[in-house]
């Protein structure tokens, strides 16, 4: 039961969840501004396509990071995997993967929506996907750097 509670905690108490909440607030209270942004961006369809695919590329990068994050090269003795809280690291990374998939889907849906109609969803989807996937990448990359620094210090001893 504890891993499930930790999973839900990692899912809800995260900057990615905050971005989803901000997107909801923007949709509820600032839809008119999002429609204006949608109509301004709609004239640049090639730009939309490229920006909409960025979250998918970030998702691929996070999948590639999986091995180096969970099984660092400098951890020859498999110290990380025997760490009692290793499951929390793994759960956190699984949540990051889920969020990266979610933001990639939102980005593609944002691209697929009709940018010429007066709806706030295309711009909101694109902005949410870009900010969300960037946040997932930054937090995952920071975790990878921290783990590598830790093992570099330990190997120097």
* pLDDT computed for residue 122 by the predictor: 85
Q: What is the pLDDT of residues 80-117, one digit of tens each?
A: 888 888 888 889 999 999 999 999 999 999 888 877 77
Residue 74 pLDDT > 80, yes or no? no
Residue 57 pLDDT > 90, yes or no? yes
Residue 68 pLDDT > 90, yes or no? no
Average pLDDT, the chain: 87
Count of domains in the chain? 1
Name the percent of the chain lying above pLDDT 90.
Answer: 41
Give the helix/strand (H/E) hosting 127.
Answer: helix 121-156
Which ranges constitute the DSSP H helices of 13-120? 15-29, 31-41, 45-70, 79-82, 86-112
Residue 157 pLDDT > 70, yes or no? no
* pLDDT computed for residue 118 by the predictor: 76
The pTM score is 0.88
Q: How many CA atoms lie within 13 A of 79 on its CB side?
A: 13
Residue 135 pLDDT > 90, yes or no? yes
Residue 42 domain boundaries: 2-156
């Amino acid at each position: 039961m504890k891993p499930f509670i930790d999973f839900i905690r990692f899912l809800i108490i995260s900057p990615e969840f905050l971005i989803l909440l901000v997107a909801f607030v923007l949709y509820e209270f600032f839809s008119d501004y999002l429609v204006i942004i949608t109509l301004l961006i709609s004239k640049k369809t090639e730009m939309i396509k490229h920006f909409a695919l960025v979250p998918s590329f970030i998702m691929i990068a996070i999948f590639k990071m999986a091995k180096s994050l969970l099984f660092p090269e400098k951890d020859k003795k498999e110290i990380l995997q025997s760490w009692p809280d290793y499951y929390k690291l793994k759960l956190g990374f699984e949540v990051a993967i889920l969020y990266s998939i979610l933001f990639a889907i939102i980005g593609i849906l944002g691209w697929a929506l009709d940018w010429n109609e007066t709806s706030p969803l295309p711009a909101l989807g694109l902005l949410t996907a870009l900010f969300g996937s960037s946040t997932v990448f930054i937090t995952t990359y920071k975790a990878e750097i921290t783990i590598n620094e830790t093992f570099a210090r330990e190997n120097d001893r």
